[in-house]
Chain A
Amino acid sequence: TQLLEQSPQFLSIQEGENLTVYCNSSSVFSSLQWYRQEPGEGPVLLVTVVTGGEVKKLKRLTFQFGDARKDSSLHITAAQPGDTGLYLCAGDPGGTSYGKLTFGQGTILTVHP
């Protein structure tokens, strides 16, 4: 089983601070996805990274895929209370590309006003 380890598990910060969430594995993934989940809802896809070294930006969120395609990071600049939620990384180890994913345990982010 190819595991994805996320860190930190919990993050509590003040509005305006920056933060980085990490997603690491000893295995190579053909692609990695980041999802955000709010209480009482299902996860929603934020981004998919496919190429080693790839960097994608989504407003204040920056996603990076490691050169060796074994790790990824999510950086949020000037966090806002609306960023609060559970952030999940998910990998496609077999290159199937149809959605059979391995999920990390998640990072619970709380942004205080």
Chain B
Amino acid sequence: DAGVIQSPRHEVTEMGQEVTLRCKPISGHDYLFWYRQTMMRGLELLIYFNNNVPIDDSGMPEDRFSAKMPNASFSTLKIQPSEPRDSAVYFCASSWRVTGELFFGEGSRLTVL
């Protein structure tokens, strides 16, 4: 299996621009998670989906953040408008209910100038 695939790997944008991060989970996994990692706060759960349905978005910092999962093989995390404090590495991870092991993608490093 190819693992969790994220794009882009790196994104540099200016404050106020829209950013869209993409994720393809491992086939057959029924849970998908979006995490954000910074030096100050570590790994924070933003939102997770079960069978494409958003279950808990309490970690989404503001209304500027939104996430969708239109089908079992694709999810997006959108930030509009972006701000410098959104700079972080954003990870997508997927898991299968039976094992609970998280499989992470390589991350999308976002820099907002």
Contact = CB atoms under 8 A, between A and B. Distances in A.
Chain A binding surface, main DSSP class: loop
Given A100-B56, A106-B42, A45 B106 contact: no
B48 A41 contact: no
B106 A99 contact: no
Contacts of A98: 30-31, 50, 95-97, 100
A80 interface: no
Contacts of A88: 42-43
Interface string A53-73: 000000000000000000000
Contact of A41 (B30, B31, B107): B107
Given A40-B106, A88-B43, A99-B95, A45 B48 contact: no
B33 interface: yes
Interface in B18-42: 30-31, 33, 42
Contacts of B69: none
Contact of B102 (A45, A96, A105): A45
Contact of B100 (A99, A104, A105): A99
Interface in B83-109: 91, 93, 95-107
A44 interface: yes
Interface string A77-112: 000000000001010100011111101111000000
8 contacts: A42-B106, A43-B91, A98-B95, A99-B31, A99-B95, A99-B101, A100-B31, A100-B48
Which 6 pairs show the lowest CB-CB distances between chains A and B?
A: A42-B104, A99-B95, A103-B43, A97-B100, A105-B42, A98-B97
